[in-house]
Chain A
Amino acid sequence: MIKQKKLIVSHAPFIHNGSKISIKNYHIMLAALPALLAGIYYYGIQAVGVIGLSISFSVFWELAFNLIAKSEKRIGDGSSAVIGVVFAMMLPATAPWWIILIGTFVAIIIGREIFGGIGSNPFNPAVLGIAIIALSWKEYFDFNQALINFDMDFNMFYPLAALKSFGASSISSISVFDLMLGKQAGAIGAVFGIGIIIGGLYLIAKGIIRWEICFSFIAGIFLTSMTFAMFAPTTYAGPFFHLFTGYTLLGIFFLSPEDSSSPVNKMPMILYGLGCGILTILIRNIGVYADGILYAILIMNIINPLIDKIKPKAFGKV
């Protein structure tokens, strides 16, 4: 009998490049750091408290769900911690602890786990969590009211509220550079534009988020806001103002490109980003909300499966 080695052929993949979900999520947390540190610089220990509880509660909710559902513990992949970080970035530094507890529950359990966990969520969980609590307890998201006791060396008001109430003349004195530096009232991780851009470009360079979504989002904002400003310059603000206020940059680099709720094909990604940008400005300019980006992203999340069917790239050749 001929002695020969028996080779077992298993199914693909045959080679693993070492990338892991946990590594990807650590990179996202790292990318969020410049914006978060600026938030801590401006709002102090209150911001630290919000960030700490948000991360902790997010991981806790996933762990609790895993225990109750008797499913595999997946908190190690860092995806809940990332949701906690992004959720905290959208909160004012004065957010009460129970808002964070409820908001992270909505994000983790309702926004993700009940749909099947990581990779199955139709909406960005953090956006859904914030949107629900912002609708339920809107007084905590009135940044002028929430940050009323913060004494800064700049004019401390929420620019989008001023634009909504007074028109473009009220924000004519605001320098875009000041907005980029974070000299405005806003959420912990949403005010320091330069930091968010650095984090976003880092994620693009690492291949974690897709540039098509980010740049088409920016294009959508520019096209729509310029159109409005062209017809009524005294009522509507220009594109740079919209880009550096509210959750805009956060939406471009951290919210809209979320894996599960955004398209995977090139053309759909561009359409998705454009839709987010256009809807954001439409809601801001003719809607009732000062910052419409949460709803713009949620709407685009809903139609994401539909637009992802446009011109799909076929694998192989016939």
Chain B
Amino acid sequence: MNHKKELRIAYWLMIISFIIGVISYAACSKQSHENPLRIMYKTSAGNVLFDHKTHASDTGYGVVCADCHHHPEDDSGLTNCNSCHTKDDKNTNLPESCLDCHDAGDIEGTEMKNSTDAFHDQCIACHKESGRGPVECLQCHVM
């Protein structure tokens, strides 16, 4: 194989692999599932990798959705935890997402736990109640 032929192969390799790459990137927009599989909670004390699928599936721990997604109570839709329980400790105002369903007057004075307290209370209480799962800090905050 002479130099020119090798060069031609390299040009074609560059062009074809570029086209394949661009098409593949365009074809697969960011993969997401209706029910999340795993969720990474990013915290200053170490990230927590939460296996949502194992917790929720019947073959896993079989936790009922409403046990965690407790609002709205009429099961009209599952709300993302962070949409109500926000990170900011100092933010005493309710998140704007509350106004999607409630009038401002109806929820005035309502106290909302921040995400840190909400997750700690929910996870640790459930693990203690069931007698399974980690309850110490460094058993979850490991990433």
Could you list which residues of chain A lie within 8 angstroms of chain B, going by C-beta atoms? 20, 22, 44-46, 48-57, 59-60, 63, 73, 75-78, 80-81, 84, 94, 97, 142, 144-145, 148-151, 156-157, 161, 165-166
Tell me which of A22, A45, A53, A145 contacts B17 (CB under 8 A).
A53
CA distance A22 to B2 in the complex (A): 10
Q: Given contacts A149-B37, A157-B49, are A56 and B6 in contact (CB under 8 A)?
A: no
The CB with the most chain A CB atoms within 10 A, among B14, B17, B37, B143, is that of B17
Assembly CA distance A84 to B16 (angstroms): 14
Bound complex: CA A54 to CA B18 (Å): 8
Cα A73 to Cα B53 with chains together (Å)? 52
Query: Which partner residue on chain A sits nearest B138 by CB separation?
Result: A165
A46 engages B142 (CB within 8 Å): no
Query: A56 near B14 (CB under 8 angstroms)?
Result: yes
For chain B, residues 14 to 43, give those with C-beta under 8 angstroms from any C-beta of chain A: 14-15, 17-25, 27-28, 30-33, 36-40
Assess whether A148 is in contact with B37, with CB atoms less than 8 Å apart: yes
Q: Which residue of B lies closest to A157 (CB)?
A: B49
Most buried by B among A53, A57, A144, A148: A148
Does B102 have its Cβ within 8 Å of any Cβ on chain A? Answer: no
Choose among B1, B8, B14, B22 the residue that contacts A59 (Cβ–Cβ < 8 A): B14
Q: Which 4 A-B pairs have the closest CB atoms?
A: A52-B21, A76-B6, A49-B24, A165-B142
Contacts of B132 in A (CB 8 A): none
Contact between A149 and B49, CB atoms less than 8 A apart: no
Is B104 located at the chain interface by the 8 A CB criterion? no
> What is the chain A residue whose CB lies nearest that of B10?
A75
| B27 near A156: Cβ-Cβ < 8 Å | no
List B contacts of A80 (CB < 8 A). Answer: 10
Chain A CB within 8 A of B9 CB? yes
Chain B residue contacts of A156, Cβ below 8 A: 37-38
19 A-B contact pairs sorted by A residue (CB < 8 Å):
A22-B6, A45-B28, A52-B17, A52-B20, A53-B21, A54-B21, A55-B14, A56-B17, A56-B21, A57-B18, A76-B9, A142-B143, A144-B143, A148-B40, A149-B30, A149-B32, A149-B33, A149-B37, A165-B142
**CB within 8 A of A145: which of B22, B28, B40, B53?**
B40
Contact A151 B10 (CB under 8 A): no
Given contacts A148-B38, A151-B53, A165-B143, is CB(A59)–CB(B10) below 8 Å?
yes
Contacts of A144 in B (CB 8 A): 38, 40, 49, 143
B residues at A contact (CB < 8 Å): 1, 3, 5-11, 13-15, 17-25, 27-28, 30-33, 36-40, 47, 49, 53, 142-143
Residues of chain B with a CB closer than 8 A to A149's CB: 30-33, 36-37
Chain B residues near A55: list those with CB within 8 A. Answer: 13-14, 17, 21
> Are B24 and A151 in touch, CB under 8 angstroms?
no
A66-B7 Cα distance, complex, nearest whole Å: 13
Would B27 and A45 count as touching, CB distance under 8 A? yes
> Using Cβ atoms and an 8 Å threshold, which residues of chain B touch A148?
36-40
Q: Could you say which residues of chain A place their CB within 8 Å of the CB of B30?
A: 149
List of A residues within 8 angstroms of B20 by Cβ: 48-49, 52
Residue of B nearest to A149 (CB): B31
Cα distance A148–B7 when bound, in Å? 40
Find out whether the CB atom of A151 lies under 8 angstroms from the CB atom of B143.
no
| Minimal beta-carbon separation of A149 from chain B (angstroms) | 4
* CA gap between A117 and B3 in the complex, in Å: 17
Given the contacts A144-B143, A165-B142, A166-B142, A49 and B13 also touching, CB distance less than 8 Å: no
Contact B18 A56 (CB under 8 A): yes
Give the nearest-CB partner of A290 in chain B.
Answer: B143
A157 to B25, CA, bound (A): 24
User: Is B143 a contact partner of A78 (Cβ separation < 8 A)?
Assistant: no
